[in-house]
Structure 1
């Protein structure tokens, strides 16, 4: 990290931003400020900051709070100011023992985190508008799916209700389910329209689905979490994010735990990859043979299935890198 004149930490909430800043010597160069989380206030504030420090001498850090940080990230991107969009859990765990909590102290902790970890952190890139739209629509889709499960699981309840009450409840649920399915179909159409409207996205979308086992929903979610394959350098890093990369658990001569995955993961992506792996080991000859051979040799089925998840991610990165669809070499074997 270069020697910035101001390392600015920002705690983001729905309505306001708490801001503070230090220099590379950990001296306060920007006292605590509170501004509204709006385009006009953010623009006005950073106009003053740039006039004081210069745009190239500033780095800004804030927690990933979803859509609440969009105005800030968008304006920093437009101004060409370096910034870090950080995991809240990462910052929380780095803070050590602390008593109490306030937005002011959180802003300071974020700035201190950048100062302490400046050599290992990578600057963030702006989430393009079409990726953000996909993310918002996907979130809505997940809510509808959850609601469908809720209103669809009422058979047991109906058994314990009087006939008339049960019929009325069943009629209401069917009406709600019909409406939810209609909106689910509309969201799926909107998602596909956004992907088709972007040349790079539709190319990646088709390439991902050329990998055996992967369908439209997994392809869409991979586009979202990788920001169009700009957020992760390789398949291993994405596997870590998805919680399917194994890590050793050993220390000295007394602790010799088995190699296993970590519970810190994107559970949605992990679930999708699990379905892809189950599908691939049935329809892909190479993966089916790999699974059967490993299990026959005494390997745990879940361990082998996790290996297939990893193989699928590596195949995805391979087709994206080559910009060529996946080719199943078994089909050309003599």
Structure 2
């Protein structure tokens, strides 16, 4: 998907995977149209064809939008399917990779091995792009902030401060664009306002969860969302000898996990209910003398999971968060 040309293979039963019909098209709108014309010329109806793509991030956006506009069925497979697929030779080339994709989606059709892909609404697509753009700007600003600590002259400091100020304005502009998009969609706006009533959940985490869950449609349970973010533990056992302790997987959205970590720390400080929960996980009140780093990490992970459960419940039930302790009212939020 990240090349100038796309390799296309068609599954044919009872023949070797290396002999599947194959052709190439350019990776642009004209090439996508040529792909459909070639399929028609070979006697295949694109409306009755299932297309398989490899996950390649933003590189597949144009083709996904083309399939969606033409109302064609397609699915996306992770890269380990191609890497570990047992059929075919051990050779590695684009033609064979496309043949493996075709073979996989046909042999596992109707099973839980994959699901049909569907693009989220346009507003969520815009939010996702702005989220990535904001992340890039924040990283750039952090680099300049670090550079500011190493400046040896006033001139260098002025240069760094100028870039930091400019990037800060750009970040604020991106956040305002996100708020404008959220305000245009009543369902997203309602969910956003409900999420912001949860202690510790600010603009960044609210947008993250809305984009990741496609406004709480893409995940069925809070644990599924927690596993995606890397908060819920996964087991690792085999037979009588392999019994690893359950731990969160590193194959997750690490940026969303980092943002949620900040939300959890904020909640421990500002939410009495969460502070009690955190201290119970730590085995009592915490200070610098009795702080155990490993225990702190596990307790903070439990707080993060609790935050995910809160967000999922609030998002699904479409209501404001209400504390168990009525003396600590929920924080109102308004879009600025």
Give the shorter-chain TM-score range.
0.7 to 0.9
CA shift for structure 1 position 44: 4.0
- Between the aligned partners of 1:48 and 1:178, the Cα distance in structure 2 is 53
1:14-46 Cα shifts (integer Å, max 9, x gaps): 432211120466777962221122223313422
Residue of 129, 133, 158 corresponding to 1:140:
133
Deviation at 1:220, TM superposition (A): 0.8
Asked if the contact 1:24/1:115 (under 8 Å) is kept, the reply is no
Tell me the TM-score normalised to structure 2 length: 0.84
**Residue 326 of structure 1: aligned partner:** 321
8 Å contact from structure 1 (residues 211, 326) kept in 2:
yes
- Please show how residues 1-334 of structure 1 align to structure 2 within 5 Å: 12-23=1-12, 31-49=21-39, 52-88=43-79, 90-95=80-85, 99-118=90-109, 119-120=111-112, 121-159=114-152, 166-296=153-283, 300-331=295-326
**Secondary structure of 1:85's partner?**
strand
- Give the Cα–Cα distance (whole angstroms) in 2 for the partners of residues 116 and 328 of structure 1: 50
C-alpha displacement at 1:266, in angstroms?
0.6
Task: Structure 2: state its 5+ residue gaps.
Answer: 285-291, 329-336
CA offset digits 1:144-188 (Å, max 9, x no partner):
1111111112355334xxxxxx23222222222222122112111
Any stretches of 5+ residues in structure 1 without a counterpart?
1-11, 160-165
Cα distance change, pair 30–244 in 1 and its aligned pair in 2 (3 A): same
SS at match of 1:53: coil
Considering fraction of residues, name the structure with more strand: 1
Alpha carbons of 1:140 and 1:259: their partners in 2 closer, same or farther (altered >3 Å)? Answer: same
Cα deviation, residue 192, structure 1: 1.3
Give me the whole-angstrom Cα distance separating, in 2, the residues matched to 1:156 and 1:322.
47
Task: Single out whichever of 40-49 and 319-328 deviates more from structure 2.
Answer: 40-49
1:241 offset after TM fit, Å?
1.0
What SS class does the counterpart of residue 18 from structure 1 fall into? Answer: strand
Note the C-alpha offset of 1:128.
2.7
Separation (CA, whole Å) in 1 of partners of 2:259 and 2:39: 44
Q: Which string of whole-angstrom CA distances, capped at 9 and with x for unpartnered residues, describes residues 118-138 of structure 1?
A: 311221111332222222222
Deviation at 1:79, TM superposition (A): 2.8
- Corresponding residue for 2:289? none
- Cα 1:73–1:250 change in 2 (3 A) is same
Instruction: Quote how far apart the aligned CAs of 1:325 are.
Output: 1.6
**1:299-326 deviations in whole A, cap 9, x for unaligned?**
9232222122122112212122211122
Question: Secondary structure at 2:264's aligned position in 1?
Answer: helix
Over the residues paired in the alignment, what is the CA RMSD in angstroms?
2.7
CA 70–270 in structure 1, closer or farther in 2 if over 3 Å, else same: same
Count of residue pairs the alignment pairs up: 315
Partner of 1:6: none
Using a 3 Å threshold, how does the CA distance of structure 1 residues 230 and 26 change in structure 2: closer, same or farther? farther
